[in-house]
A and B are shown apart, each in its own frame.
Chain A
Amino acid sequence: MTMQYRIEGSDLQYVEVTLAPGESAVGEPGAMMFCDTGVSIETRMGDGDDAGLGSRLASGFKRSITGENFFTSVFTNTSSRPLRVAFAAPSPGKIIAVDLASMGGALICQKGAFLGGTRGVKLGLAFKKRLRAGMFGGEGFIMQRLSGSGTVFIHASGTLAPLELRAGEELKVDTGCLAALQTSVNYDVKYVGSLKTSVLGGEGLFLASVKGPGTVWLQSLPLQRLRAVMIGMPQSRGLGAKLWYFIVVIFVIAMALLRAGT
């Protein structure tokens, strides 16, 4: 049974999942936006499945390493009619739904990308076994590996562009822009190629490189870059505010002088 869902909004999105009676969905704690009464909410350690305590503990740790919560919220429709639960994206960007079965059973995402999905989806570690890619690829050594057979909702800031790569087809990607990739896609970093470009080109020394076959999702605005832009903004409130402040001070002094005069 595939999950029924609807993604709403343009840049500040949420996904509304319709749960059939008895069906469950999992979401990151704090991601829930609303849900119908009749949907039970349960917080569980790890991936929200019924595994033993030890493996739940282990999966909890894996989750925390990959930028997710130690716990998972499980939403279950306990009524006899379809009910809704919605998960909101934590930052401006896009939510995409990926059917894991069509991806060969697994998907690799950047840290913290997982928003929610079918109950039973496993969240694991994808450790990038290449020093240069881990250090300069912009995604770090640790990424998320989502595996299982259901639907997952992943989120990334900016616009998410799915790009389809044929076998052997290669794409150069700005570091940090890689949001998700299929397991069959090869990921590496390459030196920009010339000193001039690397110094003046604004892309840094390295570019990520992805090679097909498979699909990659690229984000137009990585969160770090958004943050840098926001922090770099001028802090002052402009001339108007200063002028207003000045007028108030003059007024107060004038009043004080008038009082003293009388």
Chain B
Amino acid sequence: MSEIAAQLHGPELPASGVPARVHFHGEYLRVAGDGAAEDVPAESLAVDITGFNEDMLQLSWDRHGHTHAVTVADTAAVRALLAQAPESVARRLKRGHSKMGYHRRKWNAVIGVLAGLVLLVGVAWWQSEAITMWLANRVSMQTEIGIGEQALAQLETEHVLTREGLAAETIAGIGARLTQGSRYQYRWYVSDDREVNAYALPGGIVVINAGMIEKAGSAEELAGVLAHEVQHVEHRHTLQQMIHTAGWAAVLAVALGDVSAITAIVIHQLGNLRNSRKLETQADVEGLKAMAKAGIPLQGMATLFRTLQAEQERRGGEGAALLSSHPATEERIADLEQLAATLHCECQPLGIDWAAVQVATREWRAAQ
């Protein structure tokens, strides 16, 4: 039988106890320390846990009305003691041992949960883009359309929108080519806003300002804008951006299943939403690909940006509203041109009398 290191406490001993060695033999616990040894009947032993962190086992017994005790410090020693304990005390010992284990496990669980939370926040921060994308893809098409409708209603309080007339029909025609096979039902609007800008609202609503039509040099240039905006819809960029800006509020609302709350937040934000550079690049690239697929000449997007940028420089920084959300950096234009050159395209000019469209738009706007 191996002896186990312990600390012996008793009335005649110093309060801090003295080192002792213990082991079970038969029905007795042999306690040897300080030159003397004694045998304690196993069935008279009381088992408790003690120690700074409930990490010690205490075996105590009464003699002449005084409590004597041994404390065993580490788990290995406790296990060794358990292995040699007689039947009469084994159950109590086991209970004490599992109580020590319980405290240890409970604390490990607390640490584990805390570490898990920290890890979760870390991953959420690190993978925030992927998470927003995932969340955006969780939003049902119906909700998305609902958000789009509300945003449209908001827009209609400020501007006159139309789906009729030459401009809107021409745009719808180009748009139909760009959105072939899409899961969205697109609607194309022309707004009487003179700002050179275009928006894509969630759910497939594309609004082109009259100012944009007047500024675009050709139908191909406008097709470039449409192709770009369509990609914002297709890849749910607006939703992603909404989730990103609404942040925790949106996450909470989604978790609570309250979609109307996010819609409210989102619609409020819609005017200020700016897609990140990354999303813009994606829209550029995918837009060009869609144009190539539709057989629309690819240069339009780049030439339009060039025109707008040149104008902005001429005016000393004040330029088209489109540029504030779509910065036309040299890099971006160069990337667009480079990609356009590499894409295979059996492109045919659209063959649209653009000047007529512009005249029609101007007349319609003047009538409002």
A, B bound: yes
Q: Is A128 touching B52 in the complex (CB atoms < 8 A)? A: yes
A 101-132 binary contact with B (CB < 8 Å = 1; else 0): 01110001000000000000000001111110
Q: Contacts A166-B9, A167-B68, A184-B71 known; A126 to B58 CB distance under 8 Å?
A: no
Q: Is A187 an interface residue (CB 8 A)?
A: yes
A104 touching B19, Cβ below 8 Å? yes
- Give, as a whole number of angstroms, the nearest-CB distance from B3 to chain A: 16
CB within 8 Å of B: which of A126-160? 126-131
Contact partner, A213, options B53, B54, B69, B103, Cβ 8 Å: B69
Is the CB–CB distance between A131 and B52 below 8 Å?
A: no
Give the B interface residue count (CB, 8 A).
Answer: 28
Judged by a CB distance under 8 angstroms, whether A181 is at the interface is: yes
Number of residue pairs spanning A and B whose beta carbons lie under 8 angstroms apart: 83
Q: Does A43 contact B (CB under 8 A)?
A: no
* CB < 8 Å neighbour of B15 from A108, A129, A130, A214: A214
CB nearest to B66 among chain A residues: A166
A201 CB within 8 Å of chain B: no
Q: Which residue on B lies nearest to A214, using beta carbons? A: B16
If A129-B107, A213-B58, A214-B16 touch, whether A184 touches B67 (CB-CB below 8 Å) is no
**Cβ of A177 under 8 Å from chain B:** no
Enumerate chain B residues within 8 angstroms of A104, measured Cβ to Cβ. 7, 16-17, 19, 73
B9, B15, B73 — which one has the most chain A CB atoms within 10 A of its CB? B15
CB proximity to B under 8 Å, residues A171-208: 181-187
Report the Cα distance A134→B194, complex, angstroms. 66
Interface status of A211 (Cβ within 8 A of chain B): yes
Fill in one digit per residue for B63-88: 1 if any A CB lies within 8 Å of its CB, else 0: 00001110101000000000000000
Mask, B32-59, CB within 8 Å of A = 1, is: 0000000000000000111111101010
Which residues of chain B have C-beta atoms less than 8 A from A164's C-beta? 15-16
Report yes or no: A214 in contact with B60, Cβ–Cβ below 8 A: no
Taking Cβ atoms with an 8 Å cutoff, the residues of B that contact A are 7, 9, 11, 14-19, 48-54, 56, 58, 60, 67-69, 71, 73, 103-104, 107, 110
- Besides A183-B56, A184-B17, 4 other A-B contacts (C-beta < 8 A): A104-B17, A108-B52, A184-B58, A186-B49
